[in-house]
Amino acid sequence: MKHSGLDKILGRIEDLDSVNLGILVQRLARERRMQETVFNTIQDGIIVIDTDGVVQFANAAAKTMIGLKAEDVGVVRLWKMVPDLARSLDAEKVDAGRVSKPVLSRELELNYPERRYIRLYMVPIDTQVGHKDSGGYVVVLSDVTEERVSMEERIENERTGSIVRLAAGVAHELGNPLNSLTIHLQLIERKLRKLGLGEEGRNLSESIDICRGEVARLDSIITHFLEAVRPREPELNELNLIDLIEEVLKVQEAELADRKIDVNVEVSDQLPAILGDRGQIKQVFFNIVKNGMEAMGPGGRLRVLARSDDESVYLQFIDTGAGISEEDLSKVFQAYYTTKKDGHGLGMMVVQRIMRDHGGQIGIESHKGSGTIITLQFPQRYRRTRLLEGRAGGR
């Protein structure tokens, strides 16, 4: 049986005097520091746990990924830090401190300390050659968030592309018959006026008005559909977001008053300008305010909170409406999803696309019966400029 150099040294510890023992300890300490330095330069997370799941070692990347503090090493069980991992394993084996499979591979979504997608490999450490007993496990964590998000965006772009192609065909096939219907309904209405059929004529005119209204509604659906999926590069100009919000609220003022909805805009400090397409950003605000307005009953309240940090500008739209259930929250940005009777289900899809095109992000929090909070994050003007320069330079 072959032994490593360390095994030979440890085997002679009893024969060492205090001086040589001190030299050995110093050597081992240097080797440990060197190994820790090497592990801390690796971008993947590396964790060593014992058979009970207690973390015995974690490199810098692993600590960052799972929010592990230096004082947690030797104390905290990995299952506590990554509960999703425990749920994905055999519960009884985890409680007993042993994993049911010799090698484990999982992809997990972590929400603390920030949302990440992690690919995890877990391999047992054999303490004795020829024995199946494990002396713990080495866990390797790879951050695949960017890869996962890129894949989701790719799938979304492919899906949107197929909708665009379908939209062109649908618009062509429906547009001409709708125009023809509108023209013929106008001709029928004129003839009825000439005939003057009294009460019967008035009833027919009402029916024609209903038909014309439905034709207009179909035409509106097609228009919204094309706006939602037709890609259009934003025309970037310096924008003051508060000015745009006030313009949108002015347009919707009458409807807000009619619904007896109180609106309050709160700005924590002087907001920096952003670069954006004026029409598209106004469309974002219009869609969000309209959704919030229609979700609330008389006496509802809509708050718009504005703030900024060193890199971004944030706007929060908080309504006191009916809210969205947890199972429906993930569907909000899907095409045709709507909880409104007359909704076309494209408004929030448009909002998400415009925010992405502006390098921004949108978040939504809601619970059934307790209102909805929509957060928009815009990159500041200088940061947006850097992003655009970087993108151009990479072409």
pLDDT in tens, 37-92: 777 788 888 999 888 888 998 998 888 888 888 888 889 888 777 766 666 555 44
The model's confidence at residue 244, banded by pLDDT at 50, 70 and 90, is: very high
Tokens 């990924």, located at residue: 65
Tokens 């390797």, located at residue: 140
pLDDT of residue 17: 66
pTM of the model: 0.48
Write out the E strands in 231-384: 237-239, 262-267, 274-276, 301-308, 312-319, 361-366, 372-379
Which of 259, 224, 199 has the alpha carbon at shortest distance from 349? 224
pLDDT in tens, 328-360: 777 777 766 566 555 555 678 888 888 888 888
pLDDT of residue 241: 92
CATH code for the structural domain at 149-229:
1.10.287
User: How many whole angstroms separate alpha carbon 241 and alpha carbon 274?
Assistant: 8
pLDDT of residue 91: 43
Q: For all residues of the chain together, what is the average pLDDT?
A: 77
Dig out the tokens for 132 from the structure.
């199946």
pLDDT more than 70, % of the chain: 72
Q: Judge contact between 24 and 13, C-beta under 8 A.
A: yes
The most confident of 141-145, 225-229, 260-264, by mean pLDDT: 260-264
Class for the domain spanning 237-389: alpha beta
pLDDT of residue 19: 66
pLDDT in tens, 183-214: 888 888 888 777 776 777 777 888 888 888 88
pLDDT of residue 13: 59
pLDDT of residue 129: 45
Write out the E strands in 240-348: 262-267, 274-276, 301-308, 312-319
pLDDT of residue 315: 93
Dig out the tokens for 199 from the structure.
């009460």
Domain boundaries, the chain: 42-116, 149-229, 237-389
Q: What average pLDDT does this structure show over 279-290?
A: 89
The model's confidence at residue 304, banded by pLDDT at 50, 70 and 90, is: very high
pLDDT of residue 351: 86
**How long is the chain?**
395
Q: What average pLDDT does this structure show over 243-258?
A: 89
